[in-house]
Amino acid sequence: MSDGDTSTFQRRRLIVNADDFGLSPGVNAGIIEAHERGIVTATSLMVRWPAAESTADYARSHPRLDVGLHLDLGEWICRDGAWVPLYDVISLTDATTVTAEVDRQLSAFRRLLGRDPSHLDSHQHVHRDEPVRSIMTAVARRLRVPLRHVTPGYQYFGGFYGQNDEGQSYPELVSADAMVALLSDLPAGTTELGCHPARGRDIEAMYVDEREREVETLCDPRVRAAIAANHIDLTGF
């Protein structure tokens, strides 16, 4: 089979999914820019934050941008080598409380956008652990949408990230060169690439400065050229 063959079993599909839509005006601006000028095809909405309200009109008028639910149960940051909560919404170990909060955030999503989410995931991947995993899996099956890390047929890549586990910054990991190299090694099938673009510094978090670099990379013409050169289908969920 020739190198240029793009038959079904060889085909590579890429979903570029921007987390944290609705977190702040700056995050919203970065995601919108990376969608309109760059390669972002999907985003995951945090419904608890005031800036979520301003996403509704945009999402409704830009149907090519898939919008999923980014379940928000808390955030943790590394301080002096230990992970501590920046905020928490509920206890992650109480299944009844988790179920109620998932239902509440799903209802808020439907109120904002007037439709179900195109996919499901969670802030800082808390749904990888029980009982959140089982609860979110059941919701995904009911809605018939993919759940990150769980639904077969969707492989998740989280390596486009400019920090290590202790919060040390490595901006070269979110450079255009890094993205081009990543695209050349993209496996067959459907890959969801996570990203966190933003403009400005209007959030309190560990990951802030690197978000601006992500916008530039996601909008870099060399990245779009690499997608074409590697015969990658840029798609949504």
What is the Cα–Cα distance from 168 to 88, expressed in whole angstroms? Answer: 23
Mean pLDDT value of segment 155-159: 96
Q: Which of 3, 5, 19, 66 is catalytic?
A: 19
Q: Other C-beta atoms within 10 Å of 144: how many?
A: 7
User: Is residue 70 scored above 80 in pLDDT?
Assistant: yes
User: In 3D, which of 73, 77, 207, 79 has the Cα closest to residue 129?
Assistant: 73
Hunting for tokens 């919203």 — which residue is that?
Answer: 28
For domain 24-234, the CATH architecture is: Alpha-Beta Barrel (3.20)
The reply to whether the predicted model has a pTM over 0.75 is yes
User: Is residue 182 scored above 70 in pLDDT?
Assistant: yes
How far does CA 183 lie from the centroid of its chain?
17
Output the pLDDT for position 9.
52
Output the pLDDT for position 220.
98
Output the pLDDT for position 157.
96
What is the Cα–Cα distance from 35 to 39, expressed in whole angstroms? Answer: 6
User: Is residue 200 scored above 90 in pLDDT?
Assistant: yes
Tokens of 212: 């601006």
Output the pLDDT for position 57.
87
- Residues 6 or more apart whose Cβ sits within 8 Å of residue 151: 140
202 is catalytic: no
Arithmetic mean of pLDDT over the chain: 94
